[in-house]
Structure 1
Amino acid sequence: MLHNPFQFLPNRSIIPLLLMVSFVGYLMAFMSHAYAQGTALPAYRDSQQTIPTRVKDLLKRMTPAEKVGQLLCPMGWEMYDKQGTTVTVSDTFKTLIDHRHIGMFWAVYRADPWTKKTLETGLNPRMAAEAGNAMQRYVMTHSRLGIPLFIAEEMPHGHMAIGTTVFPTGIGLAATWNPALVEKVAAAAAKEVRLQGGHIGYGPVLDLARDPRWSRVEEGFGEDPVLSAAMGAAFVRGTGAGKLDKAGAVITTLKHFAAYGVPEGAHNGRPALIGERSLREAFLPPFKAAIDAGALSVMTSYNSIDGIPCTANSLLLKDILRDEWGFKGFVVSDLFSIDGLADSHRITKDLKESAVKALNAGVDVDLGSNAYQTLLRSLEAGGALAAAIDTAVSRVLRLKFAMGLFENPYVDPEQAAHTVRNDTHVALAREAARQSVVLLENKNNILPLSKQLNRISVIGPNAHTPYNQLGDYTAPQDESHIITVLEGIRDKVPEARVSYVKGCAIRDTSDLTINEAVASARQADVAIVVLGGSSARDFKTEYLETGAASTKHTAVNDIENGEGFDRATLEPLGKQLELLQAVVKTGTPTVVLYIQGRPLNMNWAAANAGALLTAWYPGEQGGSAIADVLFGDYNPSGRLPISIPRHVGQLPVYYNQQHPAAHDYVDEKAAPLYPFGYGQSYSTFVYDSLVIGRLSEKSVRITCQVSNESEIAGDEVIQLYLHDHQAAVVQPIKQLKQFQRIHLRPGESKSVTFVLTEQDLTIIDRDMNEVTEPGEFTVMVGVSSADIRLHEVVYYPFLP
């Protein structure tokens, strides 16, 4: 059957006429050749055929080199040449396609100091779409089989590209305790990736963070598996991963599989010292929930578990991921993690052996592409890898067909130019940032501030440093798109005299204006001091091959967080504490705000400031969102997704530790400064009337009444915890099971309902089986893990 020659062009496409003529000419020549040979259109080109049929047909036509090429994913930012406003494919790209038959590229549109791509040398959304089209056009017209490319992009809190919308980082999104909001954020980010020609979004990050010294706490959803699972599943739903042929859908790549967030000594990539039961109870459930929600790609992690690197762990990648969970997508290595089997873990002798071990363990795609090039040599030497390669290639091709790329590999540059970072997405970034702010202290109700204040002093290294509020995995952005705290306050109270003094930097102590800050504070009605950390990479930083930063002290300025920047302490660095103490000493009412990627030491601020908040890394609209909270246009509703310790000597302090309970030290309390789930509001919420009613032997309904007994409308996060009185294996002292976020008007009451099921009571027994044991449980409803307002004992099975 003769198919429409325009079927490979996108709907509503306005690709230049020259592109259309070139492509149609190629297609007509291809079809003329097919008819001259007396053959029909190949089955893999026939969109009426089933995907399995198309995959099988294409696979049998491919050479071993073409198959291996589909499993290679090199770094992509050198794949285009930019001359003025014209973008073409580079000679490097042509060589990779012509000789290595590459099927996938990573980070084509990425811009940062590591890639050496700046606002000037990188791509805006229109040019990104044009670059993607040029790459696809070359592949479709110059390769033997015309297999379209996959372009994978970083997308943990927005697309990591120039001109996109920058949302709060993962730890901030988790602080919203609002899966519906996270779903919207993910949908916006995915749409921006797809509009520019990307197909795969790297994110969400599902690593539980139980040691805040670890450099990548900011990327994930905190310390708890239930909260992380809810947020991860919402993120995946937002990307449309289950409906890849729909506009705006991308394949989500879950990171990092598995237990990457608990490295020994908090050193990034070091071993995770946990057993299989802990792995299954705590670290795997977020991944399972995200896969059940439709995720079709999983990234391995750099660490090892019990002596087995995760990139060569068949228990993880085959037994659990595929056999137990039924995962149908593809597994991609973290960057050069296959190479690391020899270089870092020392379990193989060379790259060739590493490649074979990773493939046989279940890794389908080589991110970095050094290792899997050697698979051809293994095949030539008689290695029994052909079937494993075919399986991996089939997994990749299946998703290319499912996404419709063989019919429609191009995007519309005009649509990218006008839709990426649109007004709706910017407004969503502001809303996400507002909900992520956590109010920790509010002594004498100093907040919200009056808009009638005459003189406001804004002080601190993070008050007006745009990139310090964006977090890691963020591309350079037009600074007019980033609203700092200073700018947000000035916009909020334009009639006030708002002065600004930086005072000090995050780490650098060579340029101090503490005396000026003190003078400014003395003249003000209120001082707002913005401290914290920074993941803002600069062009003076040195980077490792993987993109993680080198921590040579001579190589960095202010960055103290982000991949590779592990900490030995949690103290605010540089002269920040000295600055804060000097400001508070003036006697001027002081509000302290931490912009940070990990929990830092807040002891002094908690004891001495009038108010204390954390905004994590709030993204591009952070300044406006923070001003909304400070001046009462938004009632703070964020809750901590991770406990804030008093001292590193307490670590770990995550709330759901197992029995027996920790006891106080000789010189310090065992409890954190602020517990998981904690957060204050301008409203006052009261809990009462806990009722537990049986639905069946396997489920009960739990209801309670929550009332807003204040004159301020606000959101409350109701948290349901469970305590297992006795089990065959040691259990957590308490464990979050469910939560709800509700809005209450002044004086309003609502009945909140949870349904607790048999699944909520399961444990991993001695034989690694998931079971539910009869017994006694305490149901606890509270406002944090440490503040339980209602509780009652239930017995399972749930008998009348």
Structure 2
Amino acid sequence: MKKKLFVGALIASSMMACAVAETAITTVNPNNIQESFYNPYLMKARKIVAKMTLDEKIGQMIVPTTTIMIPNPEDAKYLESLSDDKLIKKFGLDKIKKYHIGSILVGGNDVPFDANDPSLKMWQKIARLAKSQYSGPKGTELLLGTDEVHGNQHVIGSPLFPQNIGLGATHNPKLVKEAAKMTAAGTLESGFNWVYAPTVAIAHDYRWGRTYESFSQNPDIVKSMAYNFVEGLQATQNNHITGALATVKHFIGDGRTVNGLDEGNTEIDNIDELWAVDGAGYRGAIDANVGSLMPSYSSLNGIPMHYGGDKDLLQRITTTGIAGYKFEGIVVSDYAAISKAQAKYNMLNKDSQISFIDSLSMSINSGVDMIMLGIFNTAIPNHYPKDFLGEQSKDINSLYTHQNKTPWPKTLEGYNYSNDVDMLKAIKFAIEQKRIPMSRIDDAVTRIIAVKLAMKSKMKPVDNKQVQKASLKAAEQSLVLLKNDNKTLPVDPSDIKNVVLIGDYDDIGKQNGGWTVLWQGFTGNQWWLPGSEAKKHSGAMSYIDGLKNNFSKDTNFITKLNKDDKDNLSKNNTIALVVLSEKPYAEYHGDVDNNSPLYADEYKKPQSKFLGLKFTKKQAKEIKKLKALGIPIITVVQSGRPLVITDGNDKAPLQNSNAMIAAWLPGTSGGQAVANVITGSYKLKSFKTKINGKEYYSNTLPFAWPKNMEEVRSHNYSLFQEGYGLEN
């Protein structure tokens, strides 16, 4: 199903839907849990909004990044030397008061300035200065948003949890709630109060680069995890959000796109099926009174979700509701999404091009309350309306050179539209031109103020030891034993004199994957150097670290085989650990085997046509020698999704291993967790629970596993089924 969109019809549709929103917000449904939570705040907010000026209202609707507020990375050197007043002006934070800005965010690559000092102290100071400039209504606070995909990832030294796919493998909702609670504590301690999590997508195609953000293929599991994540993060007490504000995302169908194309198109005729399956996480989050929701970059049946998607689903969830579920909180756009939607629309509709003002108007009229700005927030220059009297900002290329990144692909290239003042003008212009009715602006700001009134965040000091303990517990319960021939595992450490190490056994960056310090993550241990305070505070353990903790100090750890080793190594005194990893990635950078327009001009190519891992030629040669000596091969597959592990004869990991562990992306404690499984100090499948009446165990697959690339493309997975997992 492919639809060609026509701008006139779409704008008319968004204006008509806006009229529905004006009346629906006053309708009270006593059976709707979330409405009963937010309704008192909505009533107060309406009275407040009625007294606000237009400039004050518009200021609440934009979310600029710290990169926009503080565009010069070298200014970080002034943090300690300048007074607060001078820093506020130097960093542009005085604009918060001047333009009545209600929120700012830390983008994926905004942390820190050139990634030199992402310290807790630095973020606390920036947050304090920003909050001091907030001039919004009494009883509300500045929202400071950040991506905390698997822990307080922007502060070096923070313990990090497994990515969502690993949390899904725990099948332990209470553990997920605890992880979210600790993430909220770290976020609040940093000075921030709004988290862009959880992702509740169900990944239907493993070629999708965000598969690891998905908890499970099972809607019941996803619903339960979403509910508990929001409960833990927001910590609602006495009808107030005392933790950090949660954001359920990306509404809806982001994990169901054709060929797993990130930001692509979801094609489905049966919208009821979409809601029943892919809507499960939203049902769980709404049940937990989630305060904000983010639409997807993707489209539904050809209509961008930021324009409401097919059947106006974004409008429906925020007005009349879907199957009894109605969202009453803030709808915030994704990063630079308004411009992305415009650019994609224009690529698909050559005969009916739209302007940025059109895109902005359609998004707000379709239910978007807050516009997130980013340095990629571009609009094609030729499509600025001639009557818009805004000054075009600098070209995106010059704005992004300080981060040494390749410019945005030419298909999406244009002039930067992320300047906060320009965006304020654009919204005001659209109102003056009657493209956005004032009733919709009031509705949006009412939602924003209502959620802020509900927030009474309480910051408490974070006990890193407790977070480390929870991180290790989560990592242990996330590991899935795929193969264990002749009970290779566990091994008795007292029997082992030699441990041969091959592959990524000492790479904490790869253990964590994307969204670690920066958007795309890192390889190596640069943020967790031996003896550093960051490693100590995080409790980060690579595989060699964990094994050294569990084996005798006299054990030989061999990282390079020599000719004489065969005389000292035997099946009775030696094991070999091989660690295979996907390289870290986030979003479309992890897409495999699809042709995304985001890869235009070689900005970024798909990682491979092959969604799988093999031993390298050198590794296969070493493994063959070890097998000839009868030494057991224990392979750890470190990945953000199920991968093909059966290809390549001597290079095929599954066939050439005696034992195999799917470790996912286990976080900073992953090395210790795997060591505990190898030596038996942690027993797999030790946790059992019931979700929606069905029994589940920890350490079992949240997704079925493919045998080959044909199964990846057909979505028919036969190697291991969901729920599979062996005991050690």
Q: Please report the TM-score for the alignment, with normalisation by the length of structure 1.
A: 0.67
Task: Give the SS at the match of 1:606.
Answer: coil
| Percent identity between the two aligned chains | 24
Q: 2-side partners of 1:433 and 1:352: how far apart?
A: 46
Counterpart pick for 1:487 among 521, 525, 545: 545
Higher relative contact order (CA 8 A, sep 6+): 2
Deviations 1:649-700 (A, max 9, x none): 113565xxxxxxxxxxxxxxx6521111110113xxxxxxxxxxxxxxxxxx
The 5 Å alignment of 1:604-753 reads: 604-637=652-685, 638-651=699-712, 671-682=717-728
Q: Equivalent residue for 2:582?
A: 533
Residue 355 (1) aligns with residue 368 (2): no
User: Could you tell me whether the CA contact under 8 Å between 1:460 and 1:529 is conserved in 2?
Assistant: yes
Task: Give the SS at the match of 1:251.
Answer: coil
CA distance 1:617–1:52, shift in 2 (3 Å): closer
Residue 568 (1) aligns with residue 609 (2): yes
Q: Equivalent residue for 2:389?
A: none
Q: Equivalent residue for 2:125?
A: 130
Q: Equivalent residue for 2:404?
A: none
User: Could you tell me whether the CA contact under 8 Å between 1:210 and 1:652 is conserved in 2?
Assistant: no
Equivalent AA in structure 2 for residue 423 of structure 1: K
Q: Equivalent residue for 1:238?
A: 232
Q: Equivalent residue for 2:645?
A: 602
Equivalent AA in structure 2 for residue 486 of structure 1: I
Q: 1-side partners of 2:133 and 2:563: how far apart?
A: 59
User: Could you tell me whether the CA contact under 8 Å between 1:194 and 1:248 is conserved in 2?
Assistant: no
Deviations 1:233-271 (A, max 9, x none): 111111135449768511110111111112222221111
Deviations 1:403-449 (A, max 9, x none): 148xxxxx87xx6xxx3361111100000000000001110001001
Deviations 1:112-145 (A, max 9, x none): 5x656355333x22332222111111224xx898
Counterpart pick for 1:589 among 632, 635, 640: 632
Counterpart pick for 1:391 among 433, 443, 467: 443
Q: 2-side partners of 1:127 and 1:442: how far apart?
A: 47
Deviations 1:269-302 (A, max 9, x none): 1111222133122111221121112212111111
**Worse-matched range after superposition: 277-286 or 359-368:** 277-286
User: Could you tell me whether the CA contact under 8 Å between 2:241 and 2:454 is conserved in 1?
Assistant: no
Q: Equivalent residue for 1:473?
A: 515
Q: Equivalent residue for 1:89?
A: 88
Deviations 1:146-199 (A, max 9, x none): 963101111221123113221100000000011111111011101111222212
Task: Give the SS at the match of 1:452.
Answer: helix
Task: Give the SS at the match of 2:636.
Answer: strand
> 1:456 offset after TM fit, Å?
3.0
Q: 1-side partners of 2:122 and 2:256: how far apart?
A: 40
CA distance 1:671–1:386, shift in 2 (3 Å): closer
Q: Equivalent residue for 2:145?
A: 152
Residue 376 (1) aligns with residue 428 (2): yes
Task: Give the SS at the match of 1:354.
Answer: helix
Residue 121 (1) aligns with residue 161 (2): no
**Worse-matched range after superposition: 375-384 or 153-162:** 375-384
Residue 499 (1) aligns with residue 557 (2): yes
Q: Equivalent residue for 1:139?
A: 134
> 1:609 offset after TM fit, Å?
1.1
CA distance 1:454–1:134, shift in 2 (3 Å): same
Q: 1-side partners of 2:101 and 2:603: how far apart?
A: 35
> 1:478 offset after TM fit, Å?
3.8
> 1:62 offset after TM fit, Å?
2.4
User: Could you tell me whether the CA contact under 8 Å between 2:500 and 2:574 is conserved in 1?
Assistant: no
> 1:612 offset after TM fit, Å?
0.6
Q: 1-side partners of 2:580 and 2:281: how far apart?
A: 32
> 1:226 offset after TM fit, Å?
1.5
Deviations 1:76-97 (A, max 9, x none): 2564653364674353533532
User: Could you tell me whether the CA contact under 8 Å between 1:176 and 1:639 is conserved in 2?
Assistant: yes
CA distance 1:201–1:566, shift in 2 (3 Å): farther
Structural RMSD (CA): 3.3
Q: 2-side partners of 1:555 and 1:499: how far apart?
A: 41
> 1:53 offset after TM fit, Å?
5.9
User: Could you tell me whether the CA contact under 8 Å between 2:541 and 2:668 is conserved in 1?
Assistant: yes
Deviations 1:705-739 (A, max 9, x none): xxxxxxxxxxxxxxxxxxxxxxxxxxxxxxxxxxx
Equivalent AA in structure 2 for residue 641 of structure 1: P
> 1:519 offset after TM fit, Å?
7.3
* Count of aligned residue pairs for this structure pair: 577
Equivalent AA in structure 2 for residue 601 of structure 1: V
> 1:220 offset after TM fit, Å?
1.4
CA distance 1:53–1:610, shift in 2 (3 Å): closer
**Worse-matched range after superposition: 644-653 or 172-181:** 644-653
Deviations 1:490-543 (A, max 9, x none): 111133424243xxxxxxxxxxx7889997995771101111212168xxx99x
Q: 1-side partners of 2:546 and 2:641: how far apart?
A: 23
Residue 62 (1) aligns with residue 52 (2): yes
User: Could you tell me whether the CA contact under 8 Å between 1:259 and 1:279 is conserved in 2?
Assistant: yes
Q: Please report the TM-score for the alignment, with normalisation by the length of structure 2.
A: 0.73
Task: Give the SS at the match of 1:605.
Answer: coil
Task: Give the SS at the match of 1:207.
Answer: coil
User: Could you tell me whether the CA contact under 8 Å between 2:140 and 2:453 is conserved in 1?
Assistant: no
Equivalent AA in structure 1 for residue 655 of structure 2: A
Deviations 1:278-329 (A, max 9, x none): 3122111221121112212111111111111111116221213442212110
User: Could you tell me whether the CA contact under 8 Å between 2:295 and 2:331 is conserved in 1?
Assistant: yes
Deviations 1:588-639 (A, max 9, x none): 2111111111212222322231101111111011111111111000012211
Q: 2-side partners of 1:425 and 1:182: how far apart?
A: 13
Q: 2-side partners of 1:628 and 1:394: how far apart?
A: 51
The 5 Å alignment of 1:23-42 reads: none
> 1:98 offset after TM fit, Å?
4.8
User: Could you tell me whether the CA contact under 8 Å between 1:645 and 1:674 is conserved in 2?
Assistant: yes
Q: Equivalent residue for 2:159?
A: 165
Q: Equivalent residue for 1:340?
A: 340
Q: What runs of 5+ residues in structure 2 fail to find an aligned partner? A: 1-38, 375-416, 519-526, 530-534, 591-595, 647-651, 686-698
Q: 1-side partners of 2:599 and 2:141: how far apart?
A: 39
User: Could you tell me whether the CA contact under 8 Å between 1:521 and 1:583 is conserved in 2?
Assistant: no
Q: What runs of 5+ residues in structure 1 fail to find an aligned partner? A: 1-48, 406-410, 502-512, 543-547, 557-563, 655-669, 683-800
- Higher helix proportion (structure 1 or 2): 2
Task: Give the SS at the match of 1:613.
Answer: strand
Q: 2-side partners of 1:595 and 1:421: how far apart?
A: 28
User: Could you tell me whether the CA contact under 8 Å between 1:173 and 1:432 is conserved in 2?
Assistant: yes
> 1:219 offset after TM fit, Å?
1.3
Counterpart pick for 2:619 among 579, 582, 590: 579
Equivalent AA in structure 2 for residue 576 of structure 1: T
CA distance 1:550–1:375, shift in 2 (3 Å): closer
Equivalent AA in structure 1 for residue 452 of structure 2: K
Q: 2-side partners of 1:514 and 1:495: how far apart?
A: 20
User: Could you tell me whether the CA contact under 8 Å between 1:213 and 1:568 is conserved in 2?
Assistant: no
Deviations 1:365-419 (A, max 9, x none): 11117485312012223445211011101111111121148xxxxx87xx6xxx3
